[in-house]
Amino acid sequence: MNTNIQLPPEQYLIDLRREFHAYPEPGWCEYWTTVRIVEELEDIGVDDIHIGPDALDTNERLGVPEERVLSEWFDKAESKTNRTDILERIEGGRTGAVAVVDRGDGPTVGLRVDIDALPIRESTDGDHVPAAECFRSKNEGFMHACGHDAHVAFGLGTLRTVAESEFRGTFKVFFQPSEELLGGGKPMAVGPHVDDVDYLIGTHVGLDHPTGTVISGIDEVLALSRLAITFSGESAHAGVAPNQGSNAVQAFVTAASNVYGIPRHSDGATRVNVGEISSDNPANVIADRATATIEVRGESNDAMEYMRDSVRRYVESAAEMHGCEAEIALVGAGIREDSDEELVELVSEVANGIDSVSSVVRRGSAGASEDVTYLMRVVKANGGNASYIGIGGGNPSGHHTPTFDIDEDCLLIGVSTLSKTVLELLS
Amino acid sequence: MNTNIQLPPEQYLIDLRREFHAYPEPGWCEYWTTVRIVEELEDIGVDDIHIGPDALDTNERLGVPEERVLSEWFDKAESKTNRTDILERIEGGRTGAVAVVDRGDGPTVGLRVDIDALPIRESTDGDHVPAAECFRSKNEGFMHACGHDAHVAFGLGTLRTVAESEFRGTFKVFFQPSEELLGGGKPMAVGPHVDDVDYLIGTHVGLDHPTGTVISGIDEVLALSRLAITFSGESAHAGVAPNQGSNAVQAFVTAASNVYGIPRHSDGATRVNVGEISSDNPANVIADRATATIEVRGESNDAMEYMRDSVRRYVESAAEMHGCEAEIALVGAGIREDSDEELVELVSEVANGIDSVSSVVRRGSAGASEDVTYLMRVVKANGGNASYIGIGGGNPSGHHTPTFDIDEDCLLIGVSTLSKTVLELLS
Amino acid sequence: MNTNIQLPPEQYLIDLRREFHAYPEPGWCEYWTTVRIVEELEDIGVDDIHIGPDALDTNERLGVPEERVLSEWFDKAESKTNRTDILERIEGGRTGAVAVVDRGDGPTVGLRVDIDALPIRESTDGDHVPAAECFRSKNEGFMHACGHDAHVAFGLGTLRTVAESEFRGTFKVFFQPSEELLGGGKPMAVGPHVDDVDYLIGTHVGLDHPTGTVISGIDEVLALSRLAITFSGESAHAGVAPNQGSNAVQAFVTAASNVYGIPRHSDGATRVNVGEISSDNPANVIADRATATIEVRGESNDAMEYMRDSVRRYVESAAEMHGCEAEIALVGAGIREDSDEELVELVSEVANGIDSVSSVVRRGSAGASEDVTYLMRVVKANGGNASYIGIGGGNPSGHHTPTFDIDEDCLLIGVSTLSKTVLELLS
Amino acid sequence: MNTNIQLPPEQYLIDLRREFHAYPEPGWCEYWTTVRIVEELEDIGVDDIHIGPDALDTNERLGVPEERVLSEWFDKAESKTNRTDILERIEGGRTGAVAVVDRGDGPTVGLRVDIDALPIRESTDGDHVPAAECFRSKNEGFMHACGHDAHVAFGLGTLRTVAESEFRGTFKVFFQPSEELLGGGKPMAVGPHVDDVDYLIGTHVGLDHPTGTVISGIDEVLALSRLAITFSGESAHAGVAPNQGSNAVQAFVTAASNVYGIPRHSDGATRVNVGEISSDNPANVIADRATATIEVRGESNDAMEYMRDSVRRYVESAAEMHGCEAEIALVGAGIREDSDEELVELVSEVANGIDSVSSVVRRGSAGASEDVTYLMRVVKANGGNASYIGIGGGNPSGHHTPTFDIDEDCLLIGVSTLSKTVLELLS
């Protein structure tokens, strides 16, 4: 195997990761993040940089926040950078980028990293390294609590490594927005840059594996649909004449109490959960509006679709029962695709050849959902190969918690594993 | 006031009441009861006896039991009487009778008494008089636990008294089946004998009032609908593939949990209750069938109809939610009609003139439901007068309980009050 | 009857009402409102002005908003007045005032008016008089949509009238905060100024009665409790391990679906409603927190307490079922007290003697809830008399709607009726 | 491999199967079935026959029917056999038998077959072979709809074959009652005859596999608990005073609507279903009693226990919410144990050597529940080996349906596979 590669200095990766960690932005609001990525791409000197609408199919975006939210983040980004040339192109929740290094004939390899953060307030605890070492989130209430800051560093570090190596073919890095919302995977997948990819690599840090462990292929990503539900009823005075109203809260409560009980599916695990519930009506008024988000998952795409269709029917029936109307909008979606054996085999070999890798797990199970699977599906449908690779990271507390962190030793392991895999494929 | 009337001996009333008490029959199964009433009418010597289909409109019956149940009671009655001439005419749940005493020109007065019993197992306690004095129910599992045995005695006693008096006009007694099911009132009301009634008197014993109290007019009978609900789904193995079924139990549970929460109505009190729930499917099979009875009431007819229509919609929506079908059948119905002041005034005067009456309440509130109101509505619509009269009876425990009993001293008070009122109206 | 009174000019009342209409403040935030009332009281020249903590028992306040909300309204008030001497005394949600005119020996008469507004955005429609005539709410999102602006005018107008008349005894006007939240009635009632009141008059404008109608006594105010509910559970990843969480949304949904079904009560009408529901957790996280407000009412105090205690039990059980904790705080309370015949009779006589009064209704039914009943209860318990008087006001659309308005012709009718009644009592 | 065995004539197996098919008996009521098995064992001439209480630990039985039901089946059996010597020993729901053939030193092999039937009315359709060929169920309403008639034939046929062969060691056949109720497995497992078993073989016919297929080891039997639930409340008149009752139907409905929504478990598939629901109270009475059976399953024993414990807590909380009491009784239980590789390997080899076997599946997945796993657990805990073997049977419609049937060609395949496996182990 070719191991004569020049990895970037570890401090470069740590600095990158900490800078992105300090400025987390939620899905479709990664304005500053996109700008900084592009600046770095310019510094690396890639052949093509596709930004925003040129990087993905913006019509396919799911879960785009309302204009007010987009504007707030745009303004925040504008105050931190003078690259209005880039900002202009991504305004309106059209974030993300694709970098291309083209060395002529040969296969095309794609690496997909996700760049968005979560609406979680980061811990201020002295034991929490980002707090102690002053790179805690400066966007209060938001946090890179799932390691996408490390993913950006993986993407840029791998790109820099590969770009400085000799190879034949094309290498693309997909900086995908809005993974947490499961809103960006499909737009990227059906965008203009995935169709010619022969080998697609997704990656994730942490996953409760310690530093030094590499999972060559993660399977059993749960398929998912996220539905935004609005019940509309009619107000009435709750004391004088409750019968004259149509109670949106009752409709919601009936829907919610029933969706948890959608019959289990023969294909295996399914999931359903209700979140972000809201109705502002004071209790002395029969509520004319109630909203919620309902999320379903399935071990198979069939099971997930069964859950999703059931939720739709349950919600409609609950609305009808209580004389209300229901609106149902899809705001997030993920599918299941498993990793291909060819790539799993290659990654295992590569990882076994890296000194700092102490353990290689051929195949792991995801438990959660992801939308890199949309890119995987396109590549596989075209006859290509795809794998979703885990880089252990020794996080002390679970993903999506206020004290989530990574062990920065994993940054170089990740870049090393990914770069060598890419270069093997392009050798 | 005319008080020169010849009341029957008290022992005659007690004997009658105890005989009927010993052989309780549920709604539309009052075969033996109807036969014995007719025998007594023959003994009294009334002018006309209308039986079964000649007494009421059998097409309007609600809550008629299934054939198997009807047959059992018919067979039981057949074994206790040789009056097959009567039995033949009432077979198939076509019970009930109307007696007419016609003395030519003058007003028509109607007295309605109900004759059915309840599916309650009568107490065997030594303190329970019917048990101690050997006239406890001989139809095990059924009981005159609401005093309709006394009502029959009121009806026959009053008829005997009136028939032996001089008066002008017509006196009719309506021996109505199936009041407990609220199934017989409407058939009697739309039958051929109510239309010409000028004064209609309904009556009830007990009602938590002591012996000696007469309530001249009972109001606020709650309007009622009773709906028999059947959910039909599809079976599936509950372990292998619950998703392949359509769960009738889930549909029922959704309907039931919601109907209790139908919004309260501005017209005042409403009621809803679920009873007789059943699904035979073992738990390892997704249930394809579940049945229940749902009963709604309202202080106004509007409020009741709102409740009934809501139940229908809730049940349909719950079925739809769970992929089931729902059948909804009306099996009992009552309306609200209040007593007319003219009759209330007369009854008060009459009752005040009776020595054994110690207290006269002009108007009382019912709390429960009744279907004499259907007869009252017809009479009132025709310009007549109606009242529903309570005869206190000192029952030691509540109506519809296994130790319900009446104080037999009330029998003569009832007959006296009713006879004198009738004769006043026909004087 | 004494009719030699000097009423204030109608325009004075209209100006007052419009000024208060333009600056609505919600319960416990009536800072500017209290200042302006006190300024007017100073202008009238009453004997005593009790402000905030001197007017009511602040420990008994219910539904006081959080500090952040109180501060915002305080700052807003501070920017509109230089009477920091008054503001200082009412800071921290300690609003309200009591005015006293003391003319020595004689009975004590109290008039209670409420001064708070609602969180409703006032209509901008050209047909809506306050919008057309430029006194629409300047506190966007809040509105005098229940006529308390008119009540303040009634209180000040009546006070001015009475103060300028000759009488014996004492007249007090209670400017009560936070009636809409049912949070201010009890603090005022158990405060230092109600105990010696012999006659207590409450009043309300509108109530779907036209201008010219006076209701001498409103009864059947529904007793009420408002409970703020917080369910606390434990978060978990909704995809990876939902079983590891304790789902606060499920606990809420179970509680809500059941409280609507609390069995109806034999005392008559009851009410229950759920409002202000909220849980911020996104759907991919099992919710660790959900909040709601539950409101119950009853035609009797017993029925309301049954509802309230049931809600407490239901909420606790729902929390337990789902492994959560529940906190339940009482944030609003009202009781039922009916009007006394003596006062109803007097008000009827007075109203019949006023030219502009075209119709006097002796007793009306409230349908909704009120907390003037707490003051009524104290006065009645001390052997005094109380009535709650309605002043018809021709509002074109219902109370608590964005286009609610009053017919300003009713202002003088109200002041006239109230002043004459007070002076009759003090003559 | 030793294939010199003398199989019984096919017609013998068919006759046996048809005889048992015609007289299905439900769990713990297999009186006639046990008698006939013992008669056959006597005919074969085994060394020991342990019957009823000598065969299993009767204290561990779950789901034993009430005395009335047991008596009915006992009487029915008594009328069909004169072997009162056997009947006496199994009266009171103490059915089942263990047969032992002891040939001295050597390993002990156990074969477990289950013998009970289902409460399903068998099809009378002309296409249904048992109907057409006159061995349809003579116990109307009950049916061998899961092939246990074939299992008895497997057991007796294998025993006859083995007993007529030469071998070393001990062969036991466990004729286990009450598998459908998951009530007999544990009593058999903890009884006196399993502890010394070195190799334990369970078997099942059909399972949607065609005749000619053998599944060498069935895994992923779902662990199961079946709970009988009784809610006790307090009656009240549903019209007069519903608030005075404690509604057992509401408690049930709350429990049922919630148990379907017990959060999914991270271990994979779980199941929950509610069956046999019942409340006799008519709808005009607040129900004081409601019963149901709730069944939970899990892909792991942990997941099942989580479901079971959740049901207990949900039921208790639902009772408490509605002021009721809940009784919860375990009436059925199964665990998950997977097949051991050593036996799976042997069975595969054996089956591949049988001409009429066209396909060997090494491992299959069960989907449903079984209680042979209790015997497997004991054997495995003692260091032995166990496997649960499937014999394809070409049933035209699903297990537990009225037209379930087996292809009788599979009888000889089953006996052949089982006998040869046993003799291999004892060679």
Angle at C70 between CA C66 and CA C71, to 5 degrees: 115
At the second CATH level, the architecture of B10-220+337-425 is 3-Layer(aba) Sandwich (3.40)
Residue B179 has pLDDT above 80, yes or no: yes
Could you give the CA distance from residue D181 to residue C2 in angstroms, rounded to a whole number? Answer: 89
What is the predicted pLDDT for the residue at D341?
96
Percent of chain B with pLDDT over 70: 99
pLDDT digits (tens, 9 = 90+) for A226-237: 999 999 999 998
Q: Between chains, do B294 and D283 touch, taking CB under 8 Å as contact? A: yes
Tell me the pLDDT band of A143, cut-offs 50, 70 and 90. Answer: very high
DSSP string computed for D100-133:
EEEESSS-EEEEEEE---BS-PPP--TTSHHHHT
Residues of B in contact with C268 (CB under 8 A): 268-269
Q: Which of D222, D224, D279 sits opposite B275 (nearest CB)?
A: D279
Q: Which residue has the tokens 């017989």?
A: B184
- As to burial, measured by CB atoms within 10 angstroms (0-12 exposed, 13-18 middle, 19+ buried), residue D57 is middle
Cross-strand bridge partners of residue D100: D48, D172
- Average pLDDT value for residue range C82-107: 97
What is the predicted pLDDT for the residue at C302?
96
Binding-site sequence positions of C for Mn(2+): 146, 148, 180, 204, 400
Distance of CA D421 to the CA centre of its chain: 22
Q: Between chains, do D261 and A266 touch, taking CB under 8 Å as contact? A: no
Could you give the CA distance from residue D183 to residue D27 in angstroms, rounded to a whole number? Answer: 8
| Average predicted confidence (pLDDT) for chain B | 95
Could you give the CA distance from residue A333 to residue A314 in angstroms, rounded to a whole number? Answer: 19
pLDDT digits (tens, 9 = 90+) for B332-390: 999 999 999 999 999 999 999 999 999 999 998 877 889 999 999 999 999 999 999 99
| Shortest distance, CA D126 to any CA of chain A (angstroms) | 33
Q: Which of C257, C259, C270 sits opposite B264 (nearest CB)?
A: C270
Binding-site sequence positions of C: 146, 148, 180, 204, 400
Domain boundaries, chain B: 10-220+337-425, 223-334
Residue A4 has pLDDT above 90, yes or no: no
- Which chains have 3+ CB pairs within 8 A of B? A, C, D
Tell me the pLDDT band of C349, cut-offs 50, 70 and 90. Answer: very high
What is the predicted pLDDT for the residue at D368?
80
What is the predicted pLDDT for the residue at B412?
97
Which two tokens mark A106?
Answer: 């040969």
Residues of B in contact with D249 (CB under 8 A): 256, 274-275, 277
Which two tokens mark A308?
Answer: 């999703």
pLDDT digits (tens, 9 = 90+) for B57-110: 999 999 999 999 999 999 999 999 999 999 999 999 999 999 999 999 999 999
Element (H, E) at D157: helix D148-163
- Which chains have 3+ CB pairs within 8 A of A? B, C, D
Residues in chain A whose Cβ is within 8 Å of chain D: 257-261, 263-264, 266, 268-272, 367
SS3 A71: helix
Mutate to test the interface with C, among B264, B297, B304, B369 (most CBs of C within 10 A): B264
Please indicate if the annotation marks D204 as binding a ligand.
Answer: yes
Residues 6+ apart with CB under 8 A from D218: D204, D207, D339, D363, D364, D365, D366, D388, D389, D390
Please indicate if the annotation marks D237 as binding a ligand.
Answer: no
Q: Between chains, do B261 and C257 touch, taking CB under 8 Å as contact? A: yes
From first CA to last CA, the distance across chain A in angstroms is: 10
Contact between C262 and C272 (Cβ < 8 Å): yes
| Average predicted confidence (pLDDT) for chain A | 95
- Counting every residue, how long is chain C? 427
Residues of B in contact with A314 (CB under 8 A): 321
Contact between A49 and A55 (Cβ < 8 Å): no
- Average pLDDT value for residue range B287-292: 97
| Shortest distance, CA C320 to any CA of chain D (angstroms) | 6
Provide the whole-model pTM.
0.91
Residue C164 has pLDDT above 70, yes or no: yes
Q: Which of A243, A313, A321 sits opposite B306 (nearest CB)?
A: A243
Q: Between chains, do A264 and D257 touch, taking CB under 8 Å as contact? A: no
Q: Between chains, do C281 and A275 touch, taking CB under 8 Å as contact? A: yes
| Shortest distance, CA B181 to any CA of chain A (angstroms) | 28
DSSP code at position B104: S
Residues in chain C whose Cβ is within 8 Å of chain B: 257-261, 263-264, 266, 268-272, 299, 367
Using left for φ > 0, alpha for ψ between -120 and 50, and beta otherwise, residue D254 falls in alpha
Residue of B nearest to D118 (CA): B282
Element (H, E) at D200: strand D199-205
pLDDT digits (tens, 9 = 90+) for B160-171: 999 999 999 999
ipTM for the predicted complex: 0.87
Residues of D in contact with C254 (CB under 8 A): 254, 258
Q: Among B235-239, B298-302, C294-298, which stretch is predicted with the lowest mean pLDDT?
A: B235-239
SS3 A131: helix
What is the predicted pLDDT for the residue at D3?
52
What is the predicted pLDDT for the residue at C397?
79
Task: Give the residues of chain D that fall short of pLDDT 50.
Answer: none
Could you give the CA distance from residue A3 to residue A1 in angstroms, rounded to a whole number? Answer: 6
DSSP string computed for A236-304:
-BTTT-GGGSB-HHHHHHHHHHHHTTSPPBTTB-EEEEEEEEEE---TTB--SEEEEEEEEEESSHHHH
Q: Which of C239, C253, C282 sits opposite A253 (nearest CB)?
A: C253
What is the predicted pLDDT for the residue at D400?
85
Residue of D nearest to B182 (CA): D284
Residues of B in contact with D271 (CB under 8 A): 238-239, 242
Residues in chain D whose Cβ is within 8 Å of chain A: 257-261, 263-264, 266, 268-272, 367
- D148-163 and D31-44 helices cross at what angle (nearest 10)? 20
pLDDT digits (tens, 9 = 90+) for B129-178: 999 999 999 999 999 999 999 999 999 999 999 999 999 999 999 999 99
Residue A99 has pLDDT above 80, yes or no: yes
Percent of chain C with pLDDT over 70: 99
Residues of C in contact with D265 (CB under 8 A): 241-243
Could you give the CA distance from residue B153 to residue B253 in angstroms, rounded to a whole number? Answer: 44
What is the predicted pLDDT for the residue at C3?
52
Q: Between chains, do D240 and B367 touch, taking CB under 8 Å as contact? A: yes
- Average pLDDT value for residue range A299-325: 97
Task: Note the CATH number of domain D227-334.
Answer: 3.30.70.360
CA Rg, chain C, in Å?
A: 23
3-state helix, strand and coil shares in percent for chain C, rounded to the nearest 5? 35, 25, 40
Could you give the CA distance from residue D271 to residue D306 in angstroms, rounded to a whole number? Answer: 11
Could you give the CA distance from residue D293 to residue D276 in angstroms, rounded to a whole number? Answer: 6
Q: Between chains, do A263 and B245 touch, taking CB under 8 Å as contact? A: yes
Residues 6+ apart with CB under 8 A from A381: none
Q: Which of B250, B254, B264 sits opposite A242 (nearest CB)?
A: B264
What is the domain class of B223-334 according to CATH?
alpha beta
What is the predicted pLDDT for the residue at B329?
97
Which two tokens mark A319?
Answer: 């609305």
| Shortest distance, CA C268 to any CA of chain B (angstroms) | 5
Q: Between chains, do A263 and B243 touch, taking CB under 8 Å as contact? A: yes
Strands in A3-117 per DSSP E: 48-51, 97-103, 108-114
Q: Which of D258, D266, D306 sits opposite C254 (nearest CB)?
A: D258
Q: Between chains, do C261 and B263 touch, taking CB under 8 Å as contact? A: no
Q: Between chains, do D283 and B277 touch, taking CB under 8 Å as contact? A: no
Strands B108-114 and B169-176: parallel
What is the predicted pLDDT for the residue at A3?
52
Q: Which of D260, D263, D268 sits opposite A268 (nearest CB)?
A: D268
Residue A366 has pLDDT above 80, yes or no: no
Q: Between chains, do C367 and A284 touch, taking CB under 8 Å as contact? A: no
Tell me the pLDDT band of C212, cut-offs 50, 70 and 90. Answer: very high
In this structure, whether the domain defined by A10-221+337-425 belongs to CATH 3.40.630.10 is answered with yes
Residues of D in contact with B271 (CB under 8 A): 238-239, 242
Contact between D44 and D315 (Cβ < 8 Å): no
Residues of A in contact with B266 (CB under 8 A): 240-244
